[in-house]
């Protein structure tokens, strides 16, 4: 088994996660089995308690692990099976080491960063490898040179030392900034960041240079010379014009697939087959069918906007909820396609309760703990939970679909599994009243009789799901509810508000 470690330098937000995912995809398209893993140098045990503004959206796995959003790239680009061992943070590593220390596992010794923390990081890397893996790709979050990253960088250096030469390679992602005033691109930040890596003892095998403009051969040679990386392994990754999905193809064109194969002693005379992926991009590029989807995060004057579909995503807290409810009312009354995810589904339930069932003051207990009609409420098992980290309903849960419902037609299945991340639930005390008025339940969790999907009977497309279907949508396998929603929005855009069998979207 081989290992690739991906580090980043100069600045954050270079697209290291995307590049790592693209490397995974390229290797899979050469017939190899890959594992993907991310090491994050922050102290939170997981990103579950962080605001999306801090670190992007939280990505939830089947096993309920709340992980970094880069794991979403891994799942969309590769077949790698991810679980709670696929994302480690400094906080998770330290809490394991401290727990062991309290148990007495290190009795007699002083517990230190080297070797105890670095050993725990090396164990974490091994834990992240699924059985049967050919190549394990581990992305180290943060930027080389940060104080926080140091134990991780040191650990991957040691990791390589423990294995035969040729089993481990290091890929470093860097930036070639363009200075408008002098009209030139600069290699110095790259040299310095590679210098930082080499100080610790890591010589990168490949440099992937993020650039706005083409990297000239002269520049590549200069980088090669100063960074001690072979010319052919200095690879340009230019800003993509059209879609981030172009990155794998771009890296293959630059020869990265063969460089990795050669460096790790993998079969070289294999073609990297990205044909279906490239076809998908060409389809996207040439599609002429367009529709406008309003995504309501806070109050939007929907009436003036002219859109073909309304999407209300998940969320926490009060901001914008009343505006979302108004937007949903508009969609319900005018036949505008509507798709509510988690909080979006909960808002649709509140809207129907207030405006159709005339349950005055209907609300979710999250926003009004004393609501006379808590149509969305806290389950007894959640009511006594006071810790905030990792205590929601998390991960994949079963859902049985009601035959003949929109959900059933979209999925084309009787039972599904979808990923959850929420505390509050649809209140079954009101279910009969909702059903009688046409606000149907079309998906139920069989173990706990929890309502997972709601839909409106007399509406072209109106669906709310308690789970997060976005976690399972992939470019080559779009999620059926998204697919159906886009198809309904396209039909709306064409002025055809028909009921009946949902079309498949091409957009």
Active site residues: 342, 468, 470
Least gap, CB of 71 to ligand GLN (angstroms)? 17
Least gap, CB of 367 to ligand GLN (angstroms)? 9
Q: Is 116 in the site for ligand GLN (CB under 6 A)?
A: no
Least gap, CB of 424 to ligand GLN (angstroms)? 3
Q: Is 366 in the site for ligand GLN (CB under 6 A)?
A: yes
Least gap, CB of 133 to ligand GLN (angstroms)? 32
Q: Is 50 in the site for ligand GLN (CB under 6 A)?
A: no
Measured from the CB atom, the residue of 244 and 379 that comes closer to ligand GLN is 379
The length of the chain is 507
Among 136, 343, 347, 348, binds ligand GLN (CB under 6 A): 343
Query: Which residues make beta-bridge pairs with 338?
Result: 310, 462
**# of chain residues touching ligand GLN (CB under 6 A):** 10
Query: What H or E segment, with its residue span, contains residue 310?
Result: strand 309-312
Q: Which stretch binds ligand GLN (CB under 6 A): 160-168, 217-225, 416-424, 479-487?
A: 416-424
For residue 345, the Cα-to-chain-centroid distance in whole angstroms is: 21
Q: Which stretch binds ligand GLN (CB under 6 A): 5-13, 75-83, 417-425, 499-507?
A: 417-425
Q: Is 324 in the site for ligand GLN (CB under 6 A)?
A: no
Name the residue with the smallest CB distance to ligand GLN. 314
Least gap, CB of 317 to ligand GLN (angstroms)? 7
Among 307, 312, 317, CA closest to 297: 312
Q: Please give the angle made by the CA atoms of 94, 97 and 98, to the nearest 5 degrees.
A: 85
Among 50, 115, 316, 335, binds ligand GLN (CB under 6 A): 316
Site string for ligand GLN, 449-468 (x = CB under 6 A): --------------------
Q: Is 424 in the site for ligand GLN (CB under 6 A)?
A: yes
Q: What is the 3-state secondary structure (H, E, C) of 400-464?
A: EECCCCHHHHHHCCCEEEEEEEECEEECHHHHHHHHHCCEEEEEEECCCCEEEEEEECCCCCEEE
Least gap, CB of 452 to ligand GLN (angstroms)? 13
Among 81, 238, 409, 423, binds ligand GLN (CB under 6 A): 423
Q: Please give the angle made by the CA atoms of 341, 344 and 346, to the nearest 5 degrees.
A: 110
Measured from the CB atom, the residue of 19 and 365 that comes closer to ligand GLN is 365
Residue 463: CB partners within 8 Å, gap ≥ 6? 338, 339, 340, 406, 407, 410, 442, 453, 454, 455, 481, 485
Residues between 296 and 315 with contacts to ligand GLN, criterion CB under 6 A: 314-315
What separation, in Å, do the N-terminal and C-terminal C-alpha atoms of the chain show? 39
Tell me how far CA of residue 496 lies from CA of 33, 92, 232, 306, 486, in angstroms.
45, 52, 54, 15, 13
Pairwise CA distance, residues 174 & 194, whole Å: 9
Measured from the CB atom, the residue of 309 and 315 that comes closer to ligand GLN is 315
Pairwise CA distance, residues 291 & 115, whole Å: 56
Give the residues lining the site for ligand GLN (CB under 6 A).
Answer: 314-316, 342-343, 366, 421-424
């Amino acid at each position: 088994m081989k290992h690739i470690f991906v580090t980043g330098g100069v600045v954050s937000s270079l697209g290291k996660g995307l590049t790592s995912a693209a490397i995974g995809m390229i290797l899979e398209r050469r017939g190899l089995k890959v594992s993907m893993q991310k090491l994050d140098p922050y102290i939170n045990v997981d990103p579950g308690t962080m605001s999306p503004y801090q670190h992007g959206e939280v990505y939830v796995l089947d096993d309920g692990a709340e992980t970094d959003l880069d794991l979403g790239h891994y799942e969309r680009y590769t077949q790698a099976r991810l679980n709670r061992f696929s994302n480690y943070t400094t906080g998770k590593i330290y809490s394991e080491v401290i727990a062991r220390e309290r148990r007495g596992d290190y009795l007699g010794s002083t517990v230190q960063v080297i070797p105890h923390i670095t050993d725990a990081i090396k164990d974490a890397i091994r834990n992240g490898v699924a059985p049967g893996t050919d190549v394990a790709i581990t992305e180290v979050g943060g930027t080389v040179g940060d104080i926080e990253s140091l134990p991780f960088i040191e650990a991957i250096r040691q990791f390589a030392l423990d294995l035969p030469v040729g089993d481990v390679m290091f890929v470093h992602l860097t930036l070639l900034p363009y200075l408008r005033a002098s009209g030139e691109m600069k290699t110095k930040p790259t040299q310095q960041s590679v210098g930082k890596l080499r100080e610790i003892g890591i010589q990168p095998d490949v440099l992937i240079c993020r650039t706005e403009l083409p990297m000239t051969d002269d520049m590549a040679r200069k980088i090669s010379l100063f960074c001690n990386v072979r010319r052919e392994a200095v690879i340009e990754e230019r800003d993509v014009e059209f879609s981030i999905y172009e990155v794998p193809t771009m890296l293959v064109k630059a020869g990265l697939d063969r460089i990795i194969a050669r460096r790790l002693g993998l079969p070289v005379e294999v073609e990297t087959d990205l044909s279906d992926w490239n076809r998908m991009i060409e389809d996207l590029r040439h599609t002429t069918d367009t529709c406008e989807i309003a995504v309501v995060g806070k109050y939007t004057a929907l009436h003036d906007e002219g859109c073909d579909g309304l999407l209300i995503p998940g969320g926490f807290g009060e901001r914008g909820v009343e505006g979302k409810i108004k937007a949903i009312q508009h969609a319900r009354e005018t036949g505008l396609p509507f798709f509510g995810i988690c909080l979006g589904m909960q808002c649709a339930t509140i809207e129907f309760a207030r405006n159709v069932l005339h349950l005055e003051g209907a609300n979710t207990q999250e926003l009004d703990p004393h609501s006379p009609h808590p149509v969305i409420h806290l389950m007894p098992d959640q009511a006594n939970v006071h810790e905030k980290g990792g205590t929601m309903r998390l991960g994949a849960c079963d859902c049985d679909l009601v035959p003949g419902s929109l959900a059933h037609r979209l999925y084309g299945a009787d039972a599904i599994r979808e990923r959850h991340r929420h505390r509050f639930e649809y209140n079954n005390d009101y279910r009969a009243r909702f059903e009688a008025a046409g606000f149907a339940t079309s998906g139920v969790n069989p173990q706990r009789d929890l309502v997972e999907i709601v839909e409106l009977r007399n509406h072209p497309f109106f669906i709310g799901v308690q789970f997060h279907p976005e976690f399972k949508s992939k470019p080559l396998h779009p999620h059926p509810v998204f697919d159906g929603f886009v198809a309904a929005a396209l039909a709306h855009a064409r002025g055809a508000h028909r009921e009946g069998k949902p079309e498949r979207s091409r957009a």
